[in-house]
Amino acid sequence: MSHAIKKESLPEFLESLKKNFEVIVPAKNASGASCFQEYEGQELFLSARTDFSPKKYFRPPNEKTFSFTKETSSYDIAEETDKTKRVIFGVRPCDTHALDALDELFIKFLGEDGFYSERRKNTVIIALQCPEACKTGFCTSLGTSKPIGHDLLFIERGQDFFARPETAQGRALLDKKFFRSTSDAEPSTRIKCSKELETKNLAENLHKNFSHPVWAKEAERCLSCTNCTQACPTCYCYTTCDDFEFGSNSESARSRLPDSCQLKRFTLVAGNHVFRESRTARLRQFVLHKLSYYKKNHGKQLCVGCGRCISACPAKIDLAFIANTIQKEALKQ
């Protein structure tokens, strides 16, 4: 059974959720970038996918994992688990697929990461179907144009949002004060991207063309600014930092901080050797991880086709262009 809510009722609905949850919505920040932030009655950004995904609510940019205090002959250790109950509204299909990819790594593959899984368990996802493709996106090529793993789906039609619950948590949000049952046909969710990516034998062909000249040609423009990895909804690399406070009853802490494969120091090891010295090697690592390595190890692409890395790149380096250039030649053979 589908339900519907008037667009004009959306602010009041979100406000009502704040009684039981921290409510996160897409909006513009003080710098004008569209991102997810706590709802405080601000104007929602619903016209397109956001510049940044809601990843920070599952993989915080500065995540304290535990604190420790020196006792007389030992340490008192306190784990810093986030148990906040959240509703994240307006999550686009590509970002639901991004969370699915992160679930594969942080819950299933290496053993459950308690910090990540606790946030996932306590978060309700209200997905918002895209009515049209974004300029740099190619989600239809990767099969990520429709959401997965969400609790409630909103689909825009005229002055309403159709709402389709997928889980008990989603159904629990359908307050009769705001939602009405409807037998109307659900709006079409089919979109067409102007940018496409040829996916036939993609992982294999990219790996076979490790020395293709397109890597070096595109890397000539790379600034190693890390915009691509900051904007990407599935980049998860981090480094660990210990902050020590000395003195009686002082609290020290261990935190996880984001890191990027586009930085030279990322592969720095003992002996001052850097495994990916060149920007060519680092750009290639980014693309191959998204479109080849992760697929071989986990059976799914780490790239979700959102196009954020393309939009965020000041040098206009295009992951899809690199892949298509290699594919065009490989598929002729």
pLDDT, one tens digit per residue, over 19-47 is 999 999 999 999 999 999 999 999 999 99
**The Cα angle at residue 162 between residues 166 and 132, in degrees rounded to 5:** 100
Contact of 10 with 26, CB cutoff 8 Å:
no
- Structural domain count of the chain: 1
Buried b (16+ CB within 10 A) or exposed e, 31-54: eeebbbbebeeeebbbebbbbbbb
pLDDT for position 308? 98
Chain centroid to CA 250: how far?
36
DSSP state letter for 186: P
Q: What are the residue ranges in the chain where pLDDT is below 50?
A: none
Number of H helices, E strands in the chain: 12, 14
Range of the domain at 145: 2-330
Question: Beta strand pairing status for 63-70 and 34-38?
Answer: unpaired
pLDDT for position 78? 82
> Comparing C-alpha atoms, which of 240, 298, 254, 241 is closest to residue 102?
298
pLDDT for position 72? 66
Contact of 283 with 222, CB cutoff 8 Å:
yes
What burial class does residue 157 get, using C-beta atoms within 10 Å of its C-beta: 0-12 exposed, 13-18 middle, 19+ buried? middle
The one-letter amino acid code at 240 reads: T
Angle between helices 114-121 and 93-103 (to 10 degrees): 140
H helices of the chain, in order, are: 10-17, 93-103, 114-121, 139-142, 168-171, 202-208, 213-219, 227-231, 279-288, 294-298, 308-312, 319-330
